Amino acid sequence: MKISTRGRYALRMMIDAAQNQKNGYVALKDIALRQGISKKYLEQIALQLMQAGMLRASRGHQGGYALASSPAEYTVGQILRVTEGTLAPVACLDHEPNVCERRGFCLTLPVWEGLQAVVDRYLDGITLQDVLDGKTGGQTP
């Protein structure tokens, strides 16, 4: 499994918004500048995050983006699923229920299901607040 640039940037955007929203909404141009990411690319990511209910936007002079809830309410796994769609390590686990024609006799399926469970448990065990507090140091939740 490899997290795409979009997924990594979405996480950075959410962290930046969390760090800087104490004074209200955070301008996208400021996030882009701090993170070294194209504003145009962040606009696409912001739209996905807004559609998922994670970000809210405000137009106008003091406009920008803010988290829709507190940083403790969002897990890294949730954010990545918005942009990645799935965190499944193999295609047969992309859909629930599993529709693979080999699922009934595939000896490797439990291996992939176990890997997915570990990845999900780890990423869903880390909140944005944990990242802000530096509590992610590789530990398994």
Domain range summary for the chain, segments of one domain joined by +: 5-67
Q: Which CATH number fits domain 5-67: 1.10.10.10, 1.20.120.1200, 1.20.1090.10, 3.30.360.10?
A: 1.10.10.10
**pTM (2 d.p.):** 0.89
Quote the percentage of the chain above a pLDDT of 90: 71
> DSSP letter at 64?
E
Residue bearing the bigger pLDDT, 9 or 23: 9
Q: What mean pLDDT is reported for the chain?
A: 91
Note whether 71 and 132 are within 8 A (CB). yes
Q: What is the per-residue pLDDT across 87-118, written as a single tens digit (0 to 9) for each? A: 988 888 888 888 888 888 899 999 999 999 99
> DSSP letter at 98?
-
- Neighbour-count burial of 50, counting CB atoms closer than 10 A to its CB (0-12 exposed, 13-18 middle, 19+ buried): middle
Burial 90-116 (b: 16+ CB within 10 A, else e): eebbeeeebeeeeeeeeeebeebbeeb
33-37, 78-82, 93-97, 107-111: the lowest-pLDDT one: 93-97
